[in-house]
Amino acid sequence: MVNEVIVSDDWTRNWQASIAVKITALVMWVIIVAVFIVATWLLRDMESRLQADFEAGADRIAYQVASLVEAGAAGETADLTARMAELQQGSGFSAIGLSLGQQDFLVGDADGQDVIERHLPTALAPGQDIDLEVFHPNLDELVAQRRNQLVIGIFATLLVFGLFLTWSIRTIVHRPLQQLVSATRAVSEGRREVRLDISREDEFGYLSRFFNQMLDRLMAQQRELEQAAEEARSVSRAKSAFLANMSHELRTPLNAIIGYSEMLEEEAGDIGARELTPDLHKINSAGRHLLSLINDVLDLSKIEAGKIEINPVMFQLRDLVSDVVDNIQPMMLRNNNHLQVEVPDPPGRMFSDETKLRQVLMNLLSNAAKFTEDGKVRLQLSRRRERGEDWVQFVVEDTGIGIAPEKLGRLFQEFSQVDSSSTRKYGGTGLGLAISRRFCEKLGGRIEVDSEPGSGSRFTIHLPADFGQLLPEPASRTTVPATRDRVGDTAGPGNAGKALIVDDNASSRDLISRTLQAEGIEVIEARDGREAIALLESQRPHLICTDLILPNMNGFDFIKWLRANPLTTELPLVVVSAMDINPADRRELELQRARIVPKGVNLRQQLVSLLQELVNGETAAG
Amino acid sequence: MARLLLVEDNEMNRDMLSRRLTRRGHEVLTAVSGHTGVALAGTEQPELILMDLSLPDLDGWEATRVLKGEDRTAHIPIVVLTAHAMAEDRERAFAAGCDDYDTKPVDFARLMEKIERLLQPA
Ligand SMILES: Nc1ncnc2c1ncn2[C@@H]1O[C@H](COP(=O)(O)OP(=O)(O)OP(=O)(O)O)[C@@H](O)[C@H]1O
Ligand SMILES: [Mg+2]
């Protein structure tokens, strides 16, 4: 997939603001600069221009006043004043003063005003000269006033203009952009059905059109992909079903081949036809080989279909190892290999998928047996604590042909035999290690290899001893106090303690609870596994008595839950059951360290003696 | 030796197992379906039953449950045989009440061991 990022490299990229704000700010900035330049130019020589204007005005007034005086109006003072007032009105001057010989005239308000003087010789009479004073506002003040007006005007205009600009950008750019943004967000959140309005005839219109087209394309592609995936799924389902079916169908005739050849081998011995035995044996072992291949293919197809299920059970490692060793011994002898087993004493228990682990070990051991001749194979079991968890480690080491370093990498891949000559010489499909790896991973662990060509190989598997810890956490774990100390630890000898009774039958619950109370034990009761688990969220009993047949969650599942939960895994457990427990269940219960007390006439007595046993420290936990 | 009942629908498997068991000196009764198996067990009182799981009409799990639920047959140990090596089949078989379990093709020596263990008086 090529992901091309188109970068626009302009300086506004790192400016965090909406586009409307950005554009408005830029335009306003340009306008302010322009206005500032214009304003400076306008204000440049305002003072001198005003001065010149006033001077010119004064000259004009002087001329007019002189004509008035000469027209002989001087005699009638009132008339002259009125004419002067007329002149002053609208002249831009605040006052006009005139001294004519002995007479002074003043129109307007001369207070605090600057003055321009004019002396006019007249033709009327000597000594009749006119002295004229024209008053106007102070120039500096006037300039300041003008400037203020200008500034206020400019800002008012800018404000209006800016608002208009923002508004138009909002409608033209921002809103469609916003719609685009929210549509894109909706799409990115998975809502593919959104579409944009395409009626605009500008870039946004085109963009919206392409956006819609893109989505149409995307949806079409998605539909195609989904169809393809669905087809692939159904093909794969069909394949898995076919394989499962097929392997079942193959196994039935194979059963007959294996069984009859074995039988014939025996019978041939009986009737003295010993020369037939080796051939019959070949048929038998070829049949068994074929069966193991079929099983491998089935396993792999199950893994691929994601159908592999982990069925964890509690089991004794000792039993597993001896079983595996018994089964592999014949193969070891065939190549004249010596098998050495190292197991700690006692090896302890493990809660995991025993069948899968057995298969992994058989794979590793049969490889070791197959690729080693006249050598040694070592199976070593050890336990260790890692990050507070219990781990089980198996090492299978041989002194065989070894594996070339460059081949180690794909050893755990399907159908990867180190070289094709291996197939001819040793047989096999190259599935064993692939399956082993997948199983180990499924069991929460890993498999490792270390090998030197010519001197041998070592395969190591690490698995958590308690697969239960990988299971979804039992509900109570979150609320039980975080201290990881085990409930069993607190049930010290001599501590009368607390017991949880799980039984759906009220009268037997009553009977057990009275028996325990008589021994000074506090009793809490639950009617089934679920209720009990809910109770365990807040209560920490020292002993649990449970029936096996319970509504909602039966006793077996409840016990499995208890043992999978670190807080109750060591808790003394008593199964009080009315029914006969079959040997398999009995074995299972023993593995889960449950004591069995049958419901019956002497239940009370049995319970008491069991309690005494527990109190004396001979706890059921083994 | 002992009187055994083999409930198995596949003819070859039935023939083979019964012949091999007979060779070991056992008396072998056979049934080809769950119902006949249950009926035979009631009338013939075998000492042990070998039960295939996939049977026509009454399947092996059901037959086991019926046999274990009846007073006349509840005491007879049942070994379940199946071609499915699935753990859940095994669990279900034990839940139905069988006493032991083995996968087909049977490892005859192992099966004999199981039979002998179950036949020993408890
Ligand atoms: N202990 C070993 N020593 C040397 N080579 C080994 C050893 N274990 C595995 N190999 C090599 O790795 C290959 C893959 O092993 P794997 O168990 O997956 O398949 P296989 O044994 O050939 O067939 P299968 O186990 O499916 O019958 C083998 O073919 C062999 O070449
Ligand atoms: Mg192998």
Domains of chain B: 3-119 (3.40.50.2300)
**Average pLDDT estimate for A176-201:** 85
A119 found inside a domain: yes
- The reply to whether A430 and A542 lie within a common domain is no
Q: What is the CATH number of the domain that holds A415?
A: 3.30.565.10
Instruction: Kindly state if the Cβ of A556 falls inside 6 Å of ligand 1.
Output: no
Q: What is the secondary structure of A297-341 as a DSSP string? A: HHHHHHHHTT------EEEEHHHHHHHHHHHHHHHHHHTT-EEEE
**Region for residue A376 given its phi and psi (left: phi exceeds 0; alpha: psi -120 to 50; beta: otherwise):** beta
- Residue listed under structure tokens 């605090």: A112
Q: Determine the atom of ligand 1 nearest the C-alpha atom of A435.
A: 18
Same domain for A14 and A141, yes or no, is yes
Q: How many structural domains is chain A composed of?
A: 4
CA distance to partner chain B, nearest, from residue A256 (Å): 6
pLDDT at A482: 31
Whether B88 contacts chain A with CB within 8 A: yes
Residues A379 and A438 in one domain: yes
The answer to whether A567 touches A481, Cβ cutoff 8 Å, is no
Question: Is A399's C-beta closer than 6 angstroms to any atom of ligand 1?
Answer: no
> In this structure, what DSSP letter does residue A170 have?
I
Spatial CB neighbours of A203, under 8 Å, sequence gap ≥ 6: none
Q: Which ligand is nearest to the CA of A431?
A: 1
CB distance B83–A252 less than 8 Å? yes
Q: What is the pLDDT of residue A374?
A: 94
| Among the listed residues A87, A123, A80, the one whose alpha carbon sits nearest the alpha carbon of residue A108 | A87
- CB contact under 8 Å between A263 and B99, yes or no, is no
Same domain for A303 and A319? no
Of the listed ranges A109-113, A244-248, A481-485, the least confidently predicted one is A481-485
pLDDT reading at A175 higher than 60 = yes
The last residue of one of the domains, among A416, A440, A470, is: A470
Residue-level pLDDT at A226:
92
Cβ of A411 closer than 6 Å to ligand 1, yes or no, is yes
Q: Is ipTM > 0.90 here? A: no
Q: For the residues B31-43, what does the mean pLDDT come to?
A: 93
The whole-angstrom separation of Cα A402 and Cα A456 is 4
Report the gap between the CA of A354 and the closest CA in chain B (Å): 10
**Looking at chain B from residue 17 to 56, which residues have their Cβ under 8 Å from any Cβ of chain A?**
17, 19-20, 23
Tell me if A503 is assigned to some domain: yes
With beta carbons less than 8 A apart as the criterion, state whether A620 and A572 touch: yes
For residue A245, the chain B residues in CB contact (below 8 A) are: none
Better-scored residue on pLDDT, A99 or A394? A394
The answer to whether the CB of A292 falls within 8 A of the CB of A329 is no
Whether A459 and A551 map to the same domain: the answer is: no
Residue A53 within a domain = yes
Q: Which residues, 6+ apart, have CB-to-CB distance to A124 below 8 Å?
A: A69, A70, A74
Which structure tokens are listed for A192?
Answer: 């593919």
Q: What's the pLDDT tens digit per position in A430-445?
A: 788 988 998 999 899 9
| Residue A349 belongs to a domain | yes
Residue A296 beta carbon below 6 angstroms from any ligand 1 atom: yes
Q: B-chain residues within 8 Å CB-CB of A585?
A: 94
Ligand found nearest the CA of A459: 1
C-beta separation of A465 from A383 below 8 A? yes
Confidence band, pLDDT 50/70/90 cuts, at residue A449: very high
pLDDT of A487 higher than 70 = no
A456 lines ligand 1 (CB under 6 A): no
Could you list the beta-strand ranges (E) of A87-168.
95-100, 103-108, 114-120, 130-136
In this predicted structure, the answer to whether residue A569 has a pLDDT above a threshold of 90 is no
Cross-chain CB nearest to A259 (options B16, B88, B97) = B16
Whether A296 and A402 map to the same domain: the answer is: no
- Which ligand 1 atom minimizes the distance to the CA of A292? 27
- Buried/exposed code over A377-407 (b: 16+ C-beta within 10 A; e: otherwise): bbbbbeeeeeeeebbbbbbbbbbbbbbeeee
Which of A288, A290, A328, A433 to mutate for ligand 1's pocket (most ligand atoms within 8 Å of CB)? A433
Whether residue A32 has pLDDT greater than 70: yes
Q: Looking at the partner chain, which of A255, A287, A584 has a beta carbon nearest the beta carbon of B104?
A: A255
CB distance B23–A248 less than 8 Å? no
Same domain as A253, residue A169 = no
Cα–ligand 2 centroid distance for A292 (angstroms): 10
Please state, in angstroms and rounded to a whole number, the distance separating the CA atoms of residues A304 and A298.
10
User: How confident is the model at residue A621, as a pLDDT?
Assistant: 39
The answer to whether the Cβ–Cβ distance between A259 and B17 falls below 8 Å is yes
Q: Mean pLDDT, to the nearest integer, of A537-546?
A: 84
Query: A5 vs B84, which has greater pLDDT?
Result: A5
Q: How confident is the model at residue A600 (pLDDT cuts 50, 70, 90)?
A: low
Mean pLDDT score, A399-421 = 78
Mean pLDDT of A268-288: 87
Of B13, B85, B97, the CB nearest to A255: B13
Question: For A183, what's the count of Cα atoms within 13 Å in the CB-facing half-sphere?
Answer: 20
Q: Is residue A455 part of a domain?
A: yes
Predicted pLDDT at A421: 60
Average pLDDT over residues A418-434: 69
Q: Which residue of A has its CA nearest to B21?
A: A263
From the list B10, B100, B108, which residue is nearest A262 (CB)? B108
**Residue A619 pLDDT:** 41
How far is the alpha carbon of B42 from chain A, nearest alpha carbon, in Å?
Answer: 20
Which residues, at least 6 apart from B18, have a Cβ–Cβ distance to it below 8 Å? B6, B28, B30
Considering the domain boundaries, does residue A247 fall inside one?
A: yes
Query: Which residue in chain B has the smallest CA separation from A308?
Result: B86
Nearest CB to B94 within list A258, A288, A584: A584
Q: Tell me how many residue pairs between chain A and chain B have CB atoms under 8 A apart.
A: 65
Do A146 and A20 sit in the same domain of this protein?
yes
Which range is least confidently modeled, A229-233, A325-329, A478-482? Answer: A478-482
Cβ A353 vs Cβ A311: under 8 Å: yes
What number is the average pLDDT over the span A114-137?
77
- B88 contact residues in A (CB cutoff 8 A): 309, 311
Which of A246, A258, A549 best tests the B interface by mutation, with the highest count of B CBs <10 A? A258
Rounded to whole angstroms, the Cα distance separating A371 from A365 reads: 10
Residues A387 and A325 in one domain: yes
Q: Do the Cβ atoms of A259 and B97 come within 8 Å?
A: no
Domain that holds residue A205: 198-307
What confidence score (pLDDT) does residue B45 get?
Answer: 93
The answer, yes or no, to whether residue A561 has pLDDT greater than 90, is no
Predicted confidence band of residue A519 (pLDDT cuts 50, 70, 90) = confident
Q: Last residue of a domain, which of A288, A307, A326?
A: A307
In this predicted model, what pLDDT tens digit does every residue of A211-243 receive, in sequence order? Answer: 889 889 988 998 999 999 999 888 877 877 777
Q: Are both A489 and A466 inside the same structural domain?
A: no
Most confident range (mean pLDDT) of A94-98, A241-245, B38-42, B92-96 is: B38-42
What 3-state DSSP class applies to A161? helix
- Is the CB–ligand 1 distance for residue A295 below 6 Å? no
Q: What does the mean pLDDT of chain A come to?
A: 81
How much is the pLDDT for A618? 41
Spatial contact of A551 and A532, defined as CB atoms under 8 Å apart: no
| Residue A414: inside a domain | yes
Q: A-side interface with B, Cβ within 8 Å?
A: 248, 251-256, 258-260, 262-263, 266-267, 287-288, 291, 295, 309, 311, 353, 355, 582-585, 588
User: What is the percent of chain A where pLDDT is above 90?
Assistant: 15
Helix, coil or strand: residue B55: coil
Q: What is the CATH number of the domain that holds A518?
A: 3.40.50.2300
Nearest partner of A293 among A389, A430, A492, judged by Cα? A430
Q: How far is CA A203 from CA A10, A207, A208, A588, A609, in A?
A: 20, 6, 8, 75, 90
**Residues A7, A156 share a domain:** yes
Domain stops at, among A307, A338, A369: A307
Indicate the pLDDT class of residue B4, thresholds 50, 70 and 90: very high
Average the pLDDT over each of A153-162, A219-228, A291-300, A416-425 and give the range with the smallest value: A416-425
How confident is the model at residue A608, as a pLDDT? 75
pLDDT score of A118 more than 50: yes
Which residue in chain A is spatially nearest to B11 when comparing CA positions? A256
Q: Are residues A100 and A136 in the same domain?
A: yes
Task: For residue A551, tell me if it sits in a domain.
Answer: yes
Lowest mean pLDDT of A31-45, A251-265, A470-484, B15-29, name the range. A470-484
Give the residue with greater pLDDT, A380 vs A262.
A380
Kindly tell me if the per-residue pLDDT of A475 is higher than 70.
Answer: no
Judge whether residue A420 has pLDDT over 70.
no
CB contact under 8 A, A263 and B10: no
Ligand nearest to the CA of A407: 1
Average pLDDT over residues A259-265: 88
